[in-house]
Structure 1
């Protein structure tokens, strides 16, 4: 593999996996706000560990990402005030705006994983 994964990145990917798992489980269980909030906490922590604290702060506070940051924070707010469907809609939009620039890097990384890369190349 071209990339070497450090222990810190392994922890970050593990937290990201737990975040996605709890978020999906929260949606499947009729938008359970506890599971959705737990998934959000895991995902935000994973992003901070993978990118670094300073890069994460810069990502969320840069001028071109204000729309995504505000949308994501409104989504968190709506989940905490018991409107999880509206919160998920805001969060998905915020994530797409915030992390839209990362998709080429993610695709290149996934192409190098043996089984996943084969599936991505043939889709």
Structure 2
């Protein structure tokens, strides 16, 4: 149920055409396949393996968004100060602009 809601949420947020383009990009192929295979494993009754494979696919698919997420977290009104600490900032800087190795 969560997988269907996730995919429908992405589709409703950015549109059908953009969703298909995102999942069909050459650089997102491994993530898309991993997410799909994980979804299949969940459907056939292997939820633990499926969730692990889906998590890998999710990380690979959305690794390009981590820098944007870092900036968003640092600007949050109440807890943003935690993400602006030197240790956390150095973690963000180390991974800025890099995709997760596959």
With structure 2 as the length reference, what TM-score do the two structures score? 0.75
Unaligned runs of 5+ in 2: 89-102
Partner of 1:83: 46
Q: CA RMSD in A?
A: 1.4
Gaps of 5+ in 1: 1-37
Aligned residues: 86
How far, CA to CA, are the matches of 1:64 and 1:79 in structure 2? 25
Write 1 or 2 for the structure with the bigger share of helix: 1
Q: SS at the partner of 1:82?
A: coil
Relative to the length of structure 1, the TM-score reads: 0.64
CA distance in 1, matches of 2:81, 2:51: 31
Does 2:95 match 1:116? no
> 3-state DSSP class of the match of 2:45?
coil
After TM superposition, the structure 1 = structure 2 runs for residues 1-123 of structure 1, keeping only pairs within 5 Å, are: 38-122=1-85, 123=88
CA–CA separation in structure 1 for the residues paired with 2:69 and 2:62: 10
